[in-house]
Amino acid sequence: MKVKELLSIKGIECFSITSERSLLDAAKQMAECNIGALLVMDRGSLVGIVTERDIVKNAARDKVLCKDVIIKTVMSTNLLVVKPGDDLDYVMAIMIQNNIRHTPVMEESGLVGLLSMRDVVRVLVKNLKAENIYLKDMIGGKFEV
């Protein structure tokens, strides 16, 4: 399955925040939207991503309160992005290899979506379940080989 097919199933809705807001603002928005990452957008351009992990690392490392930490000081800016035509096996491999849970989907025209590891795993598990049923039916004699 390709990234564009997954986006057509899950939708392309992305949540974002500006780099000048605080980590507390990001945490509140993530909680309200029940999500684990926000794209950081400034003047319509993707400049980074802030995740739950960034918030936890900051809380554990610094004594500075999340309300006093500006997103641009902790966000990830060296983003690994995928394209709509990329295969989900490839996407999963680069997410695992780079220990990331969220990756923006980009075209030449700009941002088209955001994928989480959960999105990718959900589709791959569904495909494995279907294959498992097919193989059981084939072994059970339902289909002739």
30 and 36 Cβ atoms separated by less than 8 Å: yes
Give the pLDDT of residue 127: 67
In eight-state DSSP terms, residue 73 is: G
Amino acid in position 22: S
23 and 53 Cβ atoms separated by less than 8 Å: no
Question: Which contiguous run of DSSP H or E holds residue 22?
Answer: none
Considering the domain boundaries, does residue 133 fall inside one?
yes
Chain-centre distance for alpha carbon 7: 11
Give the integer Cα–Cα distance in Å for 91 and 101: 11
Q: For position 50, which CATH number holds?
A: 3.10.580.10
Longest CA–CA separation in the chain, Å: 67
Considering the domain boundaries, does residue 85 fall inside one?
yes
Give the pLDDT of residue 2: 93
Instruction: Give the residue from 2, 18, 20 showing the smallest Cα distance to 10.
Output: 2
Considering the domain boundaries, does residue 144 fall inside one?
no
Considering the domain boundaries, does residue 145 fall inside one?
no
What are 63-104's pLDDT values in tens digits?
A: 778 889 999 999 999 999 999 999 999 999 999 999 999 999
Give the pLDDT of residue 64: 75
Considering the domain boundaries, does residue 30 fall inside one?
yes
Which pTM value belongs to this model? 0.81
Give the integer Cα–Cα distance in Å for 18 and 33: 16
Considering the domain boundaries, does residue 39 fall inside one?
yes
Give the pLDDT of residue 61: 80
Give the pLDDT of residue 42: 95
Q: How many separate domains does the chain show?
A: 1
- What domain range includes position 98? 3-139
Give me the count of residues in the chain: 145
| Mean pLDDT (10-residue bins), the chain, 145 residues | 90 92 96 96 95 90 83 94 94 94 93 92 74 70 66
> Tokens in use for 116?
């989480």
Give the pLDDT of residue 15: 95
